A and B are shown apart, each in its own frame.
Chain A
Amino acid sequence: MLGGQSGWKGLIVQLLFVAALAWISYAIVDNARDNLQNQRIASGFGFMSQTAGFGVSQTLIPYSESDSYTRVFLVGLVNTLVVSVIGIFFATVIGFMVALGRLSPNWLLSRIAGGYVELVRNLPLLFQILFWYLAVLGSLPNPRQSVSLFDSFFLSNRGIVVPSPIGQAGLGAFLIAVVVAVIASLLLPAYARRRLFQTGKPLTVWPYVVGLLIGLPLIAVLIFGKPVHFEIPVLKGFNFAGGSRVAPEFVALTLALSTYTAAFIAEIVRAGIQSVHKGQMEAGASLGLSRGSTLRLVVVPQALRVILPPLTNQYLNLTKNSSLAVAIGYPDLFSVFAGTTLSQTGQAIEIIAITMGVYLLISLVTSALMSFYGWRIGRSMGA
């Protein structure tokens, strides 16, 4: 009986098994390398240092055509991570709002939320991406007729162009003020709770938070001068020069991914909330808590234990679905690395292996973070 033995015997069997597996993998890799060499198909990872020689439309880290394929890989990876993280953020926010809307006693609100879920989760994602890209953003006017706000913000079929900030003398002080304000705002609720438990007096936190977040940076600006100067974009030739631009590919992909995933998250959240016994809601009400406070303080923390595992799945799905980007020309990892780089170098096995490894790593890290969060919640509830 395999796996049933104990002690030395079992250990030896397992060691032999691992050794055999390692030997087989090695034989396969070795054989593949020989065969590729015999057919004179280039192999190995030397191509990573070659010059890429092609342009990429969105690069959040510096990139030019004369950079190497390693740089292309990083550019694609950053683009994938950015669209995933922002997509996950919006999907979660929209998902929670839709779920709460669906559970609301307001008939109209709950029907609208229900309609949203049924419509969005039942249409193919690729279709939705193309819809946002071609039908919605594609119908915006061209740059020469763009919609402008104060002649500094421009909306056109080339994306959203906004004035870009250029750091001035007061920037350092401004940033320090913001950081201090944020940290203080984060510490404040803990202080308020301690005071509530010690003295029994509740403290309304939000006015202080708003005051801190606006006041401190404002004082910094008054003392040290303007933190930034804004460079206004101007139309020059075919496109805008100066300013910062959010490309329509990015907007369409983020919109499609977050609204699509939000529909699934909404159902998960609804299921989680409904899994909490309604006696909890009644208990909250009998303590004099408002509906919102009961949800926030009593129901949601218990629901989270049910919500988290399937929510993690949705986060993973969103990240993997971001590889549909190539359909609308968003330069994510799959598009620039497993696409352009692959066809220029022809090294399919190496590049697909790297790409698979990266997606696997992203997924495992996401899972680990979510498990850690779940463990913390479980601990704080004494479970």
Chain B
Amino acid sequence: MKRVSLVLSLAIVAGFTTQAVNAQTLKTVKDRGILSCGVSQGLPGFSAPDDKGNWTGLDVDICRAIAAAVFDDATKVKFVPLSAKDRFTALQSGEIDVLSRNTTWTVSRDTSLGANFTGVTYYDGQGFLVKKSLKVNSALELNSASICVQTGTTNEQNVADYFKGNNMKYEVIAFGTADEAIKAYESGRCDVFTSDVSQLYAQRLKLATPADHGVLPEVISKEPLGPLVRHGDDQWFDIVKWTLFAMLNAEELGINQSNVLEMGKSDKPELKRVFGTDGNLGEQLGLTKDWVTRIVKAVGNYGESFDRNVGAGSKLGIARGLNQLWNKGGIQYAPPIR
């Protein structure tokens, strides 16, 4: 089984090597010629293969952007689908270089897993999906309900906290994958399917008649989702972190996929720094001077990626909300490229 083999490789790596897999991820990736990126097993909008087998999604775009920055080729990514509970072991054992799999940033994960979160690609929160025919309007009416959830997520603990906090009874049935959980919900085993709200919208598309199911208004937790890298390689940590920041800065500066080459010729000092026509910020990261151009050319800025994958231009149609830029009413804010 995948899980046991992952743990075994972690045990072997930890047990037999004198210097565990940490430093020089960039060199390893370059030597290998391809980036290994851990993603979900198929979550529309975030990471899912399309009918031609190409991976698309917001989380996928982060990995494509890193590959673009390193190789100037966004196709040089090997996507490794991982279940919620296998994901961290895969990162620890060195099977993947970066984990970009709708993963909630929490203090315990940041400290005890030997990994660092590099930023927040999507500000999410946990919610509930119910059948409209039940005529439930609030999560507070869910006393004694049966709840389907995917195991290995922060959702299991949140649901326990919420129901206990509101003195309500519940029965939670935890499944190995989100697909199994949503199937059991659809068969009527559960009254409620709970997950991060973005996932509720994505999983709802898999139901026979999505319109018969609605998301309740309550958001019971903070779920900032972002990519992770292993402890102990600050250069790689910086690269992954600044890839997202580059996409956010590009949106803020009005740089997009169609005008990136045009704007690259700009004389504005701020833009010259970003595009590397002045200074060598990209090289300080271990990349090239034109790293931002490479990223935006490949996947667009953050707003474009959001729209294409989860926003108005996608089947999910999720509003920007918290994920709007800080100067447009949201909380997405990136440090400047300077």
Contacts and interface: CB of A to CB of B under 8 A. Distances in A.
A346 B113 contact: yes
Interface string B141-175: 01111101001110011011101100000111111
B4 interface: yes
Contact of A343 (B16, B151, B170, B231): B151
Contact of A335 (B10, B17, B151, B153): B151
Contacts of B4: 352
Interface in A97-117: none
A248 interface: yes
B272 to A, nearest CB: 39
Interface residues of A, number: 50
B146 A342 contact: no
B84 interface: yes
Interface string A43-57: 000000000011111
A297 interface: no
B22 interface: yes
Contact of B191 (A28, A41, A42, A238): A238
Interface string B109-124: 1011110000000000
Contacts of A5: none
B176 A326 contact: yes
A134 B179 CA distance: 13
A270 interface: no
Interface stretch (B25-33, B85-93, B203-211): B85-93
A95 interface: no
A263 B206 CA distance: 36
Interface string B75-98: 000000000110011001000000
Interface in A159-206: none
Contacts of A138: 184, 187-189
Contacts of B172: 54-57
B114 A57 contact: no
A41 B94 CA distance: 13
Interface in A220-263: 236-239, 241, 248-249
Given A53-B160, A340-B174, A344-B157, A39 B188 contact: no
A348 B89 contact: yes
A157 B144 CA distance: 15
B20 A55 contact: no
Which of A39, A238, A335, A340: most chain B CB closer than 10 A? Answer: A238
Contacts of B232: 38-40
A73 to B, nearest CB: 15
A142 interface: yes
Nearest to A138: B187
B159 A238 contact: no
A41 B114 contact: yes
Given A329-B184, A339-B151, A348-B92, A239 B171 contact: yes
26 contacts: A31-B16, A31-B17, A38-B20, A39-B20, A40-B111, A40-B114, A40-B231, A41-B112, A53-B160, A65-B160, A133-B184, A138-B187, A157-B188, A158-B146, A238-B145, A326-B151, A335-B151, A336-B174, A340-B152, A340-B156, A340-B174, A344-B157, A345-B112, A348-B89, A349-B10, A352-B4
Given A39-B231, A239-B171, A328-B184, 18 more contacts: A31-B17, A39-B232, A53-B160, A133-B184, A134-B187, A139-B187, A157-B188, A237-B143, A238-B142, A238-B145, A238-B146, A238-B191, A328-B175, A329-B181, A335-B151, A339-B85, A344-B157, A349-B11
Interface of B: 3-4, 6-7, 10-11, 13-18, 20, 22, 84-85, 88-89, 92, 108-109, 111-114, 142-146, 148, 151-153, 156-157, 159-161, 163-164, 170-176, 180-181, 183-184, 187-189, 191, 230-232
Interchain residue pairs A-B with the least CB separation, the first 6: A41-B114, A138-B187, A343-B152, A42-B112, A329-B173, A237-B144
